[in-house]
Every structure is written in C-alpha cells, then in structure tokens.
Amino acid sequence: MSSTHPVISVHTPSSSFAVVHSVADESLTTLFDKLSRKPNTDYHGQRVGAGWLKYEWNNSVWNLDDDADYTIFIWRQSSSTDTPESTTIYLRDPSQPLPSPSSYRNQSFYLFRHPGSPGSHHSHHDASSARSKKKAKPENGGIPKFKKEFDEFHTSNGVRTVMGSIGPVDNVRMLLKTGYRHVYISRKFAMRHGFIPSDAAPGHYGYGGLVNIGKWPVTVGRTKTVFNVYLSEESHFDVVLGRAFWEKRQIKTNPVDSTDLICLDTNEKLDCELVILKDGKGEIVTVT
C-alpha cells in the first residue's frame, strides 16, 4: 500500500469533511494549518494543535500530537494491509464538551459509532475466524466471554485519563484515580508553569511532606470546579484527579465499559481514554 493519500477524511463529533494533504510529503504542522483554516466548521477561528487529532490503528485509537506521533502514523499507514480510499482522522476541540445525547452526533466519529457499524471493529474474513465467531457464546448479560476477558485484562492494566485544564494551563492529560485522596500536580509541572518557584530547593514544597499549594480551578468537559491542590511526586502524569474530584463531580462508572463516565452533577459524559504505560523494555508500568 502506498503511504501517500492525497485526501484525508476528517470526522468531528458533529460533521465530516475532507482536506487535501499528502501524509508522506507534508508535515503535521501543515495539517494543523489546513484544518485551522477550514471554513464552515464548528471550531472555525481556533488553532488546531496537540490534543485535537486522533486516528485508529490495530483496533485502538491513538493521539496525533507531535512529530513523533506523525512519524509512527506515516509508518502505520504504509504498513497497513487495508486499502482505504483515503486516510481517516478524528478531530475534536479538547476544551469543548461532546454533543449532548439530544443533539446531533456524527456516527462516523469514533466515540459515537454503534457496535457493528463500519470501522467499529476490524475482522479477518477467514474460515477459522468465522468458525470461532459462531462458537463464541454470549455470557454475563450478552457479553461474549472472550470480550469480557479482553476488557478485564486491559482494564486491569490501563488507567483512565481525561483532557482538561488546571489554573491557566490548558490541554493537560489528567489521571483519574480513586486511590488518591486529593487533586495533585507533579513537581516538574508545577515548576514549569509557575505554581511553585522554578528554583524550589530540596526540603521545600513537598520534599519534607505533603504540601497544599492552594485552591486552583480544574476544568474537565464544560464544567469548572475548584479544589485544594497538592504537590505529587507522580512522574507519569502532570495532574492526578483523586477522590475529591470523583466525589464533587459525582462520577458514575460503567462496569462493562471503563471509559464510560458520567458526571451526575451536570449529566455530562466525559471523553475518557484508557492509557497503558510501558517502560523502555516494553513492560507494563503499574500506576498505584
């Protein structure tokens, strides 16, 4: 398959369109520019950038944020055995909430596809696969055993994350973890964005114990709430949303789908993603 598709299909939560773009010959910044200039869109006038784009590969959804992501994206497009008419990406303003259930929702957007619709899964059309599908018997409320085991495995190793803002900093990937009590920011993130002095020395700001650095607004989806924020030595995520966030937003989980989260304070569905962390050796990193 050629790695060059002159047309890219773009699906947003409320519309679909296409742009002319050569994946192999043009850069990610050029793609950001083209999408930013696209007229008659629900985000017109805003700058498309990191956190806005995603794509599907190998039954998973991946971020398209920087040059490293783009290099992997190009390689995956060129190595794919499928031959689509165009490359497909998903675009969404991470600072805006998803359309409400009563509003129009684009069924081509990956979060809104119905099970069994084109693109909702990839299947191999061979005899052995067909036979195995016939033998898969639904269990536990109609969920096939293999699907339940697959979800349990990835749920046990993956962690829930959302995009949001804290204080003046936007587009921050945040860890949702009930094992933490409060809302925390990492030391490096706090120093980089001025939450604490950049020359903070050991023995200050938390090295000697848990330190409250004040109340800061946290925006996830369309709702802003204020929390006491503490420093954390967590190295994998800049922001950790602990039980204080879960309780204040009254988050309801779905035992079948770990990414299905509803904030009962506003009846808002969060755009949640499972992230599986791996070290340099490819081993799964457990976030406790």
What CATH number does the domain containing 189 carry?
2.40.70.10
Could you tell me if residue 115 is inside a domain? no
Q: How far does Cα 39 stand from its chain's mean position?
A: 26
DSSP state of 203: T
In a domain, 284, yes or no: no
Residue 224's pLDDT is 94
Contacts of 246 (CB under 8 A, 6+ apart): 176, 178
Asked whether 110 and 54 are in contact (CB, 8 A), the reply is: yes
* 215, 243: one domain: yes
Task: Check whether residue 76 and residue 46 sit in a common domain.
Answer: yes
Is there a contact between 175 and 159 (Cβ–Cβ < 8 Å)? Answer: yes
**Domain CATH code at residue 68:** 3.10.20.90
Decide: residue 188, CB within 10 A, 0-12 exposed, 13-18 middle, 19+ buried: exposed
Query: Is 113 contained in some domain?
Result: no
Angle among Cα 42, 109, 81 to the nearest 5 degrees reads: 130
According to the model, what pLDDT value does residue 141 have? 56
The pTM of this model reads 0.47
48 and 69 inside one domain:
yes
Q: What is residue 202's predicted lDDT score, i.e. its pLDDT?
A: 52
Using CA atoms, how far apart are residues 161 and 173, in angstroms rounded to an integer?
6
| Residues 146 and 242 occupy one common structural domain | no
Contact 91, 10 (CB under 8 A): yes
Whether the Cβ atoms of residue 252 and residue 217 lie closer than 8 Å to each other: no
Within this chain, do residues 67 and 37 fall inside the same structural domain, yes or no? yes
Q: Are 34 and 52 in contact (CB under 8 A)?
A: no
Would residue 122 count as lying in a domain? no
Tokens (6 digits) for 107? 């069924």
Tell me: do 177 and 270 sit in the same domain.
Answer: yes
Low-confidence ranges of the chain (pLDDT < 70): 1-5, 80-85, 114-157, 198-209, 234-235, 277-288
Which of these three, 141, 157, 173, is where a domain ends? 157
User: In this structure, is residue 99 part of a structural domain?
Assistant: no
Assess if residue 248 is contained within a domain: yes
pLDDT computed for residue 207 by the predictor? 52
In this structure, are 194 and 247 located in the same domain? yes
Choosing from 157, 175, 199, the residue where a domain stops is 157
Token pair for residue 147? 């699907």
One domain for residues 70 and 174: no
Q: What is the pLDDT of residue 124?
A: 39
Q: Kindly state whether residue 180 falls inside one of the protein's structural domains.
A: yes
Q: Same domain, yes or no, for 55 and 38?
A: yes
Instruction: Name the residue range of residue 175's domain.
Output: 159-275
C-alpha dist (Å) from residue 260 to 54, 165, 216, 263, 268 = 18, 20, 26, 10, 11
Structural domains in the chain (count): 3
